[in-house]
Structure formats: structure tokens, C-alpha cells
Amino acid sequence: MPALARGQENTPSIVNWFTTVNGILTDMYSVGFKIFDIAGGLPGTQIFPATPGDYEEIIGSPGHFSVGSYYAYDVAQGKGWTPSLTATIGTHRIEWRWKVSDTAPYQAGFEDFEVLVQSAGSSADTYITVADVRAAGIPDPPDDDTILAAIETWQAFIERATRQWFVPRATIMSVDGNESSTLFFSVPIISIDYIKINNNEDELQSDLYRVYNSNTNPDNRKNPRIKLVRSTERDIFTRPYGRLMFRKGEQNQEIKGVWGYTEEDGSVPKLIQRAHLKLVVEKLMSPVYSGDLATAPEPPPPLVGALLEETTDGHKKKWAQAGGALKPRAPGLTGITNDQEILDILRLYKGPVGIGAPSHRNLT
């Protein structure tokens, strides 16, 4: 199923439509579309164009990108249709209509697609707010836009440094099968909508798998996984030896769900909010430079750690690495901040490098 993130511009390869006559791609006299939010069920609510019942006509626009080939294009905005940052997460439906000539009747068709959460750091799902930063004592200036930009920038850094995100995000994952009954994930699982295994188009029955997503006792956020359970039904394709398994293959397992390292109520962990706030305040109060570059002052001396040893006669001095020894500090953190509290918090929430699982048949 095609998918677009909130704020992601549609392209000809994502949400598109092709018209044919006798099996041959053919341009139409008229082609239009409208989009419905059906996350809450059919018939849904039309969200584009804004007027219910209207179609967006794209003949004569870049939405017609090749012979008999069209994609969802916002003519007024001059770009591919883009879900808003506050669009409903979940299934949407695009309805197309077209006709071969002026006097021909309209033909119609539809396709469902997913709207997923927006990319990391966007203003719709930040971990802290401009008000939080103001409450921490940041004056004006900087203005609100500058603060929001800093929030987004350093949130992106936190997510990259921890390999996690800390708000619920609905998405569809296509992962490799590993010839075992268990898939491990680097980001905690909040909930699962469906699982399709081994390139099967049918959704797996929910009683045939277990989702390890508890964040209390036990806390599965450090070891999120999905495990297939024993089935007495014999199937040589999906259940060899009478047991379900994720058969080895490339992106042959599809999982739709909600992921994120969150608290039980879905909120951002308090420690992550604190680290984020401290980092934003630190960077706002120590800007790279503001003023006339022609009269810029000399750059400050490099930050160094404590003096470890000194040889007086040979004039030799040895300094510690700023912020602590380099080896125990995670790559990507050195040079960003010397605030040990921030570094320790990020280390607490660091996710695994990748997904790991045994690549052999588990017959027990």
C-alpha cells in the first residue's frame, strides 16, 4: 500500500493512477481526484479539495507526468499533494475519475494509501515547546521562530544520537525475515495493527503472535520483539514443521503499528524532555556568531579537560579530553556538549545499532 508522511510531498512514484485503452496507456480528456480520510471507517471525510464533492482537475498540469500517467497534484500550490502536519494518521482513500472525450461518460476508480507520522523534528511533535524554553529563562530575542528552529534541530540530534524517537509514530515497516519465530526491533513497540508474513497478502490472526510491548513490569522497551506462537496447522509455505516462522527473505515481512520510546500514557520521558531543554538553552545562549563578520572577534580557545600531568623542565603538559575520555563517549556526542547530565541521559535511552535475530530454524 502506498504511504506518505505528514508534510511529505507526493511524487509520481507514490500516489498515482494510469489510464489505458485496450491495455495501452492513453491520455484522457479529463482526469481529476479527491481524497478522503477513512481512518475512522468508510465512507470517510473528504479532505481535498476543501469543498465536498469537488475534484482536483490535473489535465494541463505537472500532475500529468507521462502518457496515460497521473499523480495526485495540488494545482493551486504548484506541487504534489502534501498531507498537512496535523493530518490524521492512518488509512486514506483517493478517488479518481476520468473520461476519454468530452462527450464520453466518466469512469472511476480508487486506491487506499497510508498517511504516516511526519519526519523527526517537525514542529507538530516536538518533545518540548517554545513556552518551555521561555519558562527556563530565555529572553526575547531570540524570537519564537528561532527557538522553534533550535528545538527541531536538537531534537533531530537526540533522535540520531539515541537511535530512538520519543513520541508515538504510526508507520508500516517492511523487514527481512530471519528463518526464526522472532523479530527484534530497535524502537519499542506501542501497538500492532496487523502483521503480514512471508509476502502473504493476508493479515496474520492476532492469536498467532505475541507482542512484547510492556513498559512497566517487565519493561520490554529495551528488547522489543514480536514472536510467532505454535500452530497445529500444517502449511509448507508459512508453517513448515507445524510452526510459524518469519522465513528468510528481503523485506518479506510487513508490520503496521505504532512505535516509540514513550511512557505508559504515551508522553515523552521526563529525562528526555530535560536533556532536550538543557541542550536547546545551551545552544541558544551560545550562538555560533551574530554580528558583522568583518569585525568578528577571535575564536575562543579550544575547550580542554583537566590537566593530567605536567613536566616542568621539558615544558610538557597533558590535558584530559573535554567532557571526559573519548572512548566511553558515544560517537557523535563528542564536541556537541560537555554537559555530563545530557550525555548520561542520552546514554540511558540509546537503542541497539540494528535488528538482530537468529537466522536458523527454531524447532523447539
**What average pLDDT does this structure show over 342-347?**
92
For residue 283, pLDDT over 80 is answered with yes
The arithmetic mean of pLDDT across residues 167-179, rounded, is 86
292 pLDDT higher than 80: no
Backbone dihedral angles phi then psi of residue 301, each to the nearest 5 degrees: -65, 155
pLDDT at 243 over 60: yes
For residue 356, the model assigns a pLDDT of 46
Residue 349 has pLDDT above 60, yes or no: yes
**pLDDT range class, residue 334, cuts 50, 70, 90:** low
pLDDT of 120 higher than 50: no
Digit-coded pLDDT (tens) for 350-364 = 887 655 444 444 333
CB atoms within 10 A of CB 118: 22
Q: Which residues of 54-92 are buried (b: 16+ CB within 10 A; e: fewer)?
A: ebbebeeeebbeeebebbbbbeeeeebbbbeeebbbebb
Does the pLDDT value for residue 227 go beyond 50?
yes
What is the Cα Rg of the chain in Å?
27
Look at residue 361 in the predicted model and tell me its pLDDT.
Answer: 40
What pLDDT score does 299 carry? 56
Q: Is 175 in contact with 144 (CB distance < 8 Å)?
A: no
Q: How far is it, in rounded angstroms, from Cα 74 to Cα 62? A: 9
**Contact partners, residue 138, CB within 8 Å, separation at least 6:** 147, 281, 284, 285
Q: Which of the two residues, 80 and 8, has the higher pLDDT score? A: 80
DSSP 267: P
Rounded Cα distance, 360 and 355, in Å:
15
Percent above pLDDT 90 for the chain: 46
105-114, 193-202, 214-223: range with lowest mean pLDDT: 214-223
Q: What is the pLDDT of residues 123-171, one digit of tens each?
A: 557 899 888 999 998 988 888 889 988 998 999 999 999 989 998 887 8
CA dist 281 and 138 (Å) reads: 7
pLDDT at res. 89: 82
| DSSP run (H or E) holding 210 | strand 209-212
Listed range (23-37, 176-190, 323-337) with the worst mean pLDDT: 323-337
Mean pLDDT for all residues in the chain = 83
Greatest CA separation for the chain? 99
Q: Percent of the chain at pLDDT above 70?
A: 81
Topology at the third CATH level for domain 3-116: Immunoglobulin-like (2.60.40)
| CA dist., res. 131 & res. 148, Å (int) | 10
The rounded distance, in Å, linking the Cα atoms of 273 and 262 is: 11
Question: What pTM was estimated for this model as a whole?
Answer: 0.59
pLDDT in tens, 62-88: 999 999 999 999 999 999 999 988 888
For position 51, what pLDDT does the model report? 95
Report the SS3 class of residue 300. coil
Is the pLDDT assigned to residue 303 strictly greater than 70?
no
Where along the chain do its domains lie?
Answer: 3-116, 122-290+333-364
Q: Answer yes or no: is pLDDT of 325 > 80.
A: no
State the Cα–Cα distance between residues 125 and 276, nearest whole angstrom: 13
